[in-house]
Every structure is written in structure tokens, then in C-alpha cells.
A and B are shown apart, each in its own frame.
Chain A
Amino acid sequence: MAQAEWHQKSGDDPAAARAHRWTLKALSTAGTIALTFFGLLLVTFLIARVVPIDPVLAVVGDRATEEVYEQARQDMGLDRPVPVQFAIYVRDVLQGDLGTSTLTARPVAEDIARVFPATLELATIGTLIGVLLGVPLGVWAAARQGSAVDQLIRFVGLVGYSVPIFWLGLVGLLLFYVQLDWVSGPGRVDIFYDGVVPPVTGALLLDSLIAGNTEVFWNAVSHIILPATLLGYFSLAYISRMTRSFMLTELSRDYITTARVKGLSERQVIWGHAFANIRVPLITVIALSYAGLLEGSVLTETVFVWPGLGSYITNALFAADMNAVLGGTLVVGMVFVGLNLLSDVLYQYLDPRARQ
């Protein structure tokens, strides 16, 4: 009711009405984020509850006396009711405390901050490759719908959708590292360059440039090129497919016919008109693809022994280090939510229709 009155009152003031709409939208978005985040926490908390590992036993060892065990249980807050435990968990996470890793004996948050840049570096370069190649290929395929080029690009996409990433990584290593020796093998950098450059951003390519150490830089390039190209290929498969589909929808619209009738060149029609209108939905696609690569990092990093978040989670998994596993899961989930939100906000900002 109040809302309707508000609209009536502000009917003669479009600026105020728009501000009001924006506030409502921002509140609703914030609510969604908070709820999703809460859901993420609930899921990770519940997973931790059903683990068959006794966390107290893991700390005190199986020779501890009854009293020591009980003391540790109370210290860890495990004697409290489950909802209280959850509240404590939420409070800790909000304060940036993800618990201590039993594997590294360091706070999980610190561990993640240390390994995450390596994952980001890989996923960012992969996405760059995917966007720089995938978008033009998708546009090209749409412009020549049904041609041999279109079929080829669709086939490349289909393979990308179907091939197991870890297997392609192994085949890539076999071919380009073992057989041809074009690239360096697993790892981020050759062992004797390890730790040479002081970490500033955590991304080795940037750090080596900042330190002015071109030797390390080129060595790091030779290591990252294969996994990044691989991720780029998966990103390309998705982006080119979506670009093609968006372009085909756009090219079938009436204004395109008008543009052609008034004598614009095909280049102007495709890039100036049709492509201009798919930029906004493409942003969502790129954000999702980036998120997908972060997820795919678990497998890629295992294959390439890349010291990132994916490797961290899998190693923790085998050491039954639940704090580390769930902390990593939570961080990836948050990045996912964050990227979705970012694409939503950009969509609102860039597409005038979405603002209405």
C-alpha cells in the first residue's frame, strides 16, 4: 500500500521515482545475496556435521583420557546445541575466521589467501583467451550460418563441451611437453626459480615483472601457457556457442533488415548494430565462464600440479582436513555468487531496458 502511495506522490517527479526504484532493487539484491550466503554457510556447516570423522578425536588423539577428551570437546564448542554452533560458525566466518587447517596448522583463511592468486592467474588468462577468440568466432559463425566455417566452429564447441578436462590436460602434457618439448611441464615455475621473486600480488607473472626478473617471467610463461590455453579452450567453447546464439537472434530482427535496406555494409550491420546489442548478455556469459574456470581448477590444477585453490582443496580432502575443504568450498561459492551479482549489476547498468 505504502509503495503505491509513494509512486502516486512521486509521479510528477521521475527522478525521485527512479531513485526509489533503484533503492528497492538494491535492497532486494542485497537480500538475495545475504540469503544465498546464509544458504552457503548452512550447507557447509551441515556437511561438517555429517562427516564421519570425530573432530575432537582428531585433535586429542585416540589415547586421550575421558577428561581430556571432554575438555577438548567443550573447548571446541561441540557440547553446545547445534543452532548455537551454527551461530558461532557464522560469526567466525563473518570475522574471516575459517578455522585452522589440520594439514598445514595455519588458519585456513591465510592458506587460501596464499594459494588463491595462482588459481585466479590461471583462470584470468584462460578467460582472456576464451573471450578474445570465442567472441569473434561466435560472431563469425552466426554471420555465415550453415557454412563450413559455422559447422567447424560448432564442432570445436561440441568437443569442448564433451571432453574431460583432466584427460585433455594429460594428452596436452604428453604431446607438447613430453613429445614436442614446446612447453614446460607441471608446476608454476621450474624448481630453481621457486621463491626467487618476492610475492606482491601473488600472481607470478605480475610479480616477476614487478621485480624486473624476465628470466622468471618467461619461465612462468612457459609453464602457464598449456594449462591456460586448455582452460581458454573450454571458455571458448561456451562463449562462442552463446555468442553465436545471441547473434542469430539479433540478426533475425527487423532493424537489421532496415539497416541492410538503407545500404549499410555487412560489417557495419554485424558489428555496429547486431553486436552492439548483444554486448550486455555477453557480459553475463563471460562472468559465468570465469566462474566455471575457477571450478574447473580443481581438476586442471591436479593434472598440472598447480599450487592453487583447487589443489589445496583436493589435498585437504585426502588428509581429511575438513576445515580446509569447507573453507575452500565456501570461498569458491562466494566467488560464484559474487560473479553472478557483478554480472547482474552490470546488466542493470548497461541495458537501459533492465532499468525500467
Chain B
Amino acid sequence: MASPSSTPVEDTIREKITAALDPASLEIHNDSHLHAHHKAMEGSTSRETHFRLIITSEKFRSKMQPARHRLVYTLLKDEMAKEGGIHALQLRTLTPEEAEKRKQAEEGA
């Protein structure tokens, strides 16, 4: 029997987003440990509840931010709806140009 992944949710996020959005870059940060003490997390044993994603994809082009976020939410609908699944999902959704601009701004700062 193959050993199950210790990060099944993160794996699913990566698979689904990679398949659907063909991202130029994809960062997945698991911030769950920062929120483990929150009241909403009482009784939760999952170590994969809070994620922060930074996605750069051509698929975001000519879409406003809410539409981009909805695109990602739709992909991860099951994971978010599931009891004990993803509780919070922070998103930064950029086109390659926006990512480049942001990078330059950060370097300039």
C-alpha cells in the first residue's frame, strides 16, 4: 500500500489548479498552524484548514478580481464545502504582467 500523502488537501489544490489554470507560477502556503487556536477550529483535527495561494495565470486575463477568485473557488468547491475541509482561502490572482509589475514594485521599494 502506498503511503498516503501527509498533505492531501494541498496536493488536491495543486492538482486542480495546475490542470485548470496552467499557472505560470503557483505558491501554496499552508497557514493552518497560525489559526489552530481559533474558536472556529475547535474540534478540528485537520492540519489543512487555512491556505494562502498566489497564482499567476494567463487564464485571469481580462477578468476582474472577483471573477478570478470565483474561478478558483469553483475549482475547490468540494474541498471548501466538505466538513472539516478548507476553512479559509486567501487568494492573490495575477496575470503574468501583473506579477511582473508587482515584482518590480517590490524590488523598487
A binds B: no
Chain A residues with a Cβ under 8 A of chain B:
none
